[in-house]
Chains A and B, each alone.
Chain A
Amino acid sequence: MQIIISNSSKEPIYEQISKQIQSKILSGELTEGTALPSIRQLAKDLRISVITTKRAYEELEKGGFIYLIVGKGSYVAEQNLEMIREKKLRVIEEQLSAVISNSKEIGLPYEELQDLLKLLYEE
């Protein structure tokens, strides 16, 4: 499992780990039932402390992304991808509404906004 940690990032290390594992689960790279490396093994591989790794796993467990079997290890939980997609869509709608009202404030026409979005999307 490839995880890249940035020391200069403002984001705490445990968050970097949990986010990267989360996106691997959502993208389907890690499928339901897959065993994750043990906390201690991952700490060693990433050259970080046991507590930091433990915290990352706890975050993932709280978010329902993984589950723990005591004495065995951590596994990728079943994901309701449909529901996650719905949630994300709602967030995107909200963000776009904000973009539209900001555009109207400065009189930016729809066509220019569309061009801007297209440009950014294809970046």
Chain B
Amino acid sequence: MDNVIDIRGISKEFKEFSFDSIDLQIKQGYTTGLIGANGSGKTTLIKLMMNLLQPDEGEISVFGLDYATHEKAIKDRIGFVYDSNIFYESLNLKEISKIIAPSYKQWDRKKYKAYIDQFELPLKKPIKHFSKGMQMKASIAMALSHHAELIIMDEPTAGLDPTFRRELLDIFQEVMVNENRSILFSTHTTSDLERFADYIILIDQGEILISKRMDELQEDYALVKGNSDLLDRDTEAYFLNIEQSQGVFQALTNDKAQVQKVFGDYIVMEKASLDDIMFHMKAAHRRG
């Protein structure tokens, strides 16, 4: 099986944006990062993948199975981390594990306990007294404790301090040593993805702007800087988006060879970070 998630032609209308016949594949055995500004549709897309929302049209299959007939089997194989607390607030971690353990075929009590220890979480304190970071840690501990083949996380690093974020990325990589596992997570912190993600999906207003291998993305796109005098209608065509200030422009291109040929030594070409790509692609998309 090549794709762990296969989305074909889904459409759904919302107030702020709509998905219009979206196709998207998530590769099995790899880490995929989902990026986009606030309100771009990341969480909605994840909800559709988790069958928490249903599309008006189109199909979603996970592990090659469809939700209509295999919901329970699919969910059993997914570890899900949601960006807000979905647990019973007055319960503690020990009580919660008793409630959720029976719903998974392969709940691993030892593993759960090990993560709780590693994350330094109190077992007997009600969740409602947890900080945001602690709640996230608890949610991650549960998602990783039932031998899930697919880990889906909505903003798992939000509210976490940099030290723990780094620790967490190590844990994800540990998970990925097993080649049957796949991870999909959305994040604002693109530096989390720069080295560790295999695939990147960039969305804006419900539209997929980029879905590509991370290494190809880094090779194809570049940030170009130069004097604004260089720009006219013809030369602007080589850029996806251009920002100008004080006589200097900064632009994004995905045609490095052509830009080098046309502008030569008059410009400086740099590696575009994921933040640069996200910023310029969003601006270009909003401009229409």
Contacts and interface: CB of A to CB of B under 8 A. Distances in A.
User: Lowest 10 CB-CB distances: which A-B pairs, in order?
Assistant: A44-B173, A51-B198, A40-B177, A49-B198, A48-B195, A49-B196, A50-B198, A44-B177, A41-B177, A51-B215
A47 B170 contact: yes
Given A48-B195, A49-B195, A50-B31, 16 more contacts: A12-B215, A40-B178, A43-B173, A44-B170, A44-B173, A47-B169, A47-B173, A48-B196, A49-B197, A50-B29, A50-B198, A51-B30, A51-B199, A51-B213, A51-B214, A51-B215
A4 to B, nearest CB: 14
A31 interface: no
Interface of A: 7, 12-14, 38, 40-41, 43-44, 47-52, 55
B174 interface: yes
Contacts of A12: 215, 218-219
B176 to A, nearest CB: 6
B179 interface: yes
Contacts of A41: 177
Size range of the interface on B?
Answer: 20 to 34
Contacts of B195: 7, 13, 47-49, 52
Most buried by B among A43, A49, A55: A49
Interface in B188-211: 195-199
Given A40-B176, A40-B177, A43-B176, A55 B215 contact: yes
